[in-house]
Chain A
Amino acid sequence: MNSFLKQFLYVPKHEKIPDKVMLGRVVLSAALVVGCLFVMSFSAYAYFSHSVNTKVAVLEAACFEGEVTIVNAGTNEETHLTTANAAWQADLTAGEYLVTVSHKGTASTGFFKIETQNSTYYTTQVFSAESGKEGSITFEIKVNADAKVVISANFGTSIYYTDYKENGTKPDAFITGEETIEL
């Protein structure tokens, strides 16, 4: 390293400056100038631009799980339900049944869809306890012959709800509570 530096940077006293040394010093000066320009360009950019950032905000999803109970009105026994994909399936024999659908989950509201062999019904919204609004509704199913009923919990707003709320429109397929579905 010393011999390298001596070769390119050292000028012996009372001697002519070697060409190699001249070249070495010129190259070193050029490199320093370029380096300074490079550094200066960053500080100039930093001075004349500015940005403001938030820390990360986390957006989280809600869920609507719902709860369903079906009770035989005659025997007062709870009917067994099989569950799959947020839906409850009940195989009902002839009789009358009280169906209660309730809010459960972190969403503020949701609704239920009731599917029978021939028809589909939609309930009104059920709300979380914090909202102070209706958290569950009960309606009746009257079964004349063995029938299968599938009840599913749904995210969002029931298709007939908005019209019902604004205009009082209530189609047969819209369940608000106390109705009887005949199968």
Chain B
Amino acid sequence: MTATRSKTQYLKIALAVSLILIILWSLLGTGASLAWFSDESEDIKNVFHMAEFKLDVSYLDENGKYATLEGATDLFDENALYEPGYVKTVFLKVENKGNVPFNFKTAVTVTDYTLGTNVFGNTFALSDKLEFGLVFSEDEDKLRQELSKREAARATATTPLGNYSTDKAFLDEKSTVYMAITVVMPEEVGNDANYRGKDIPTVHLGITVEATQTDMS
């Protein structure tokens, strides 16, 4: 009796597992079929294209040319020193060079920092004294013209410098959008950011642009 019951149990388990596997394979098969039949035809030929997903981000360097952002270290001028009233704007170009639209986000991240001691003997973080802003535009000339004046660039930087991420923005295939990132030390900053001693206050900043495929539906 025990052997029969055990055998029945095994059969039930095997049946259940087989059923689950059949469902899984069906799902796989459906997905593969969808991929196979998503194609475009040209004239009388059936041409099958693989989706090309390509994000390209570059920044305007000091020579006035766009250089790739990947691995860039001189985005914010490594010789610049931040003092009250200092404004730095960098221009980026985000291109969708593929043939599928995508959504993209830009993230600004403070990856590290060095605290300083001000003239009053108090410790401070440079990031607490800086503000930044992000502006997008599809018209490069208009964006650069608008932000060429120091006061106009300063007006766009109203967010305290810290970890920040934009909302998703849509970029169609073969399209370009331009971005300006401005970092300022407000003029109102006083001697509470005037450091003394060997430790120079610094902020380590990273910029990431991430694109993800849009929903096909």
Q: List chain A positions with a Cβ less than 8 A from chain B.
A: 19-20, 22-23, 26-27, 29-30, 33, 37, 47-65, 85-86, 106-109, 152-157
Contact between A156 and B85 (Cβ–Cβ < 8 Å)?
yes
Smallest CB gap from B204: residue in A:
A56
Residues of B within 8 A of A20 (CB): 10
Give the distance to chain B from A35, nearest Cβ to Cβ, in Å.
12
One of B39-47, B118-126, B142-150 at the interface: B118-126
- Please count the residue pairs between chain A and chain B whose beta carbons lie under 8 angstroms apart in the complex: 169
Taking a contact as CB atoms under 8 Å apart, the answer to whether B202 and A59 are in contact is yes
| Residue B135 CB within 8 A of the other chain | no
Q: In whole angstroms, how far apart are the Cα atoms of A55 and B25 in the complex?
A: 43
Q: Judge whether A58 and B204 touch: CB under 8 Å.
A: yes
Which of A48, A50, A86 meets B194, CB within 8 Å?
A86
Complex contacts, A154 vs chain B, CB 8 Å:
190-191, 194
Set of chain B residues within 8 Å of A155, measured between Cβ atoms:
83-84, 189-191, 193-194
Q: What residues on A are CB-neighbors of B177 within 8 Å?
A: none
A72 to B126, CA, bound (A): 40
For the complex, give the distance between the alpha carbons of A85 and B117 in Å.
11
Which one of A27, A57, A59, A86 has the highest number of Cβ atoms from chain B below 10 Å of its Cβ?
A: A59
B205 touches A63 (CB 8 A): no
